[in-house]
């Protein structure tokens, strides 16, 4: 019976020592809660950003911008040719389109977002020009928590 009492007294002594140190209480109880809240705010779930795409100004630019704006993935903006090339070079846009009878796509193949932008822009402009798909594809978007 005295061993149990001794263990209880030892535990009580250690608890009192722990509670006397405010730093220990902060690091054990408060800091993990603050860290969890901060990380939860930093990594909350949000929709993917739209890919910035430039269109060289000209007679066909408004039609191209209207076609690209229908895509849920692209964010088109009209640029002068020199400004557009500079924006593409510095990475402000992923794709530069010169509209015409045969549109010219300028992009950096080494950037994955540029390749996605090219495919999306081509699809949007082809649909706006009257392309009909022979069949409708079903899409199921899957997102798993914690997967990136």
Percent share of the chain, pLDDT over 90: 64
C-alpha 58/C-alpha 56 separation (Å) is: 6
Taking residue 64's Cβ as centre, other Cβ atoms within 10 Å add up to: 24
Query: pLDDT digits over 88-140, tens only?
Result: 999 999 999 999 889 999 999 888 899 999 999 999 999 888 888 788 777 77
Go through 97-122 and write b for each residue having 16 or more CB atoms within 10 A of its CB, e for each that does not: bbbeeebebbbeeeeebbebbbebbe
- Supply the pLDDT for residue 148: 55
Average pLDDT of every residue of the chain: 89
List the domain boundaries for the chain: 2-42, 51-128
- CA proximity to 69, closest of 59, 55, 56: 55
Name the 3-class secondary structure at 9: helix
Superfamily the domain 51-128 falls into:
Periplasmic binding protein-like II (3.40.190.10)
Min mean pLDDT across 1-5, 51-55, 58-62 is at 1-5
* Whether the model pTM is above 0.75: no
- Supply the pLDDT for residue 105: 94
Res. 147: pLDDT tops 60: no
């Amino acid at each position: 019976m005295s061993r149990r009492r001794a263990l209880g007294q030892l535990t009580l002594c250690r608890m009192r020592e722990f509670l006397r140190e405010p730093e220990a209480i902060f690091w054990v109880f408060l800091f993990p809660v603050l860290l969890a809240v901060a990380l939860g705010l930093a990594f909350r779930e949000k929709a993917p950003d739209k890919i910035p795409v430039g269109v060289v100004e000209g007679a066909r630019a408004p039609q191209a911008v209207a076609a690209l704006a229908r895509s849920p993935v692209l964010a088109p903006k009209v640029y002068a040719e020199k400004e557009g090339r500079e924006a593409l070079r510095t990475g402000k846009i992923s794709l530069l389109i010169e509209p015409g009878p045969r549109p010219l796509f300028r992009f950096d193949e080494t950037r994955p977002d540029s390749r996605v932008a090219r495919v999306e822009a081509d699809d949007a402009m082809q649909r706006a020009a009257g392309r009909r798909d022979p069949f409708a594809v079903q899409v199921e978007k899957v997102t798993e928590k914690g997967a990136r």
